[in-house]
Structure 1
Amino acid sequence: MGFLSSITSLFSSNTSEATTTAEEAASEAYNGFIITPAPIAEGGQFRVAATITKGEDETLQTHQFIRSDLVVSRDECIEITIRKAKMTVDQLADSLFN
């Protein structure tokens, strides 16, 4: 591979390499909700995503939280995910599940 090809490959994305699976991180309780970050790997970056739940057993409610933000570092993505999920809980509370 030539030098220019190497540089070009750094800045181009190959959709066949994108992984759409989400690997969950440690859950965090917040105002009666449970936030479980699950960054989605996409082309060498991570998409902000999580599961927000409330309740148990028959009363369990779940919301899949996916945003357009892409972050290079998985750990940074988890931090951003938790921050954005908390803002969403603060703004929408129980209407999040409607």
Structure 2
Amino acid sequence: MGLFSWLFGNKKAKAAVDVEPVEYNGYLIYPEPKQEGGQFRISGRICKKSEETMQTHHFIRSDVLPSQADAETFMVKKAQMFIDQTGDKMFK
């Protein structure tokens, strides 16, 4: 049923919240933790503008934390490590 709700619109879906990105080595990190069962899963986006396009990599971890603020902080730290390890290869 979740697929049909996504395709045809779910009236219970929350409005997208504007997230202030964190800049790191030319990349923009958008922490967007997802609430799951009273906890928050570490997730978000890593973006980089190249020439005329904005490249985006969706970043989701298996880690869950009790507070949204902690999940945002850890997402930024993990994304920075990921950027250092993979660089632009993440967009291929």
Tell me which interval the TM-score lies in, with the shorter structure as reference length. 0.7 to 0.9
Unpaired stretches in structure 1, ≥5 consecutive residues: 1-19
Cross-structure match for 2:19: 25
Relative to 1, partners in 2 of residues 1:30 and 1:61: Cα closer, same or farther, differing over 3 Å? same
Which of the two has greater strand per residue?
2
Aligned residues: 79
Which of the two has greater helix per residue?
1
Cross-structure match for 2:54: 60
The TM-score, its normalising length taken from structure 1, stands at 0.73
The TM-score, its normalising length taken from structure 2, stands at 0.77
RMSD between superposed Cα atoms in Å:
2.0
Query: 1:59 offset after TM fit, Å?
Result: 2.2
Identity %: 42
Cross-structure match for 1:76: 70
Relative to 1, partners in 2 of residues 1:63 and 1:39: Cα closer, same or farther, differing over 3 Å? same
Unpaired stretches in structure 2, ≥5 consecutive residues: 1-12
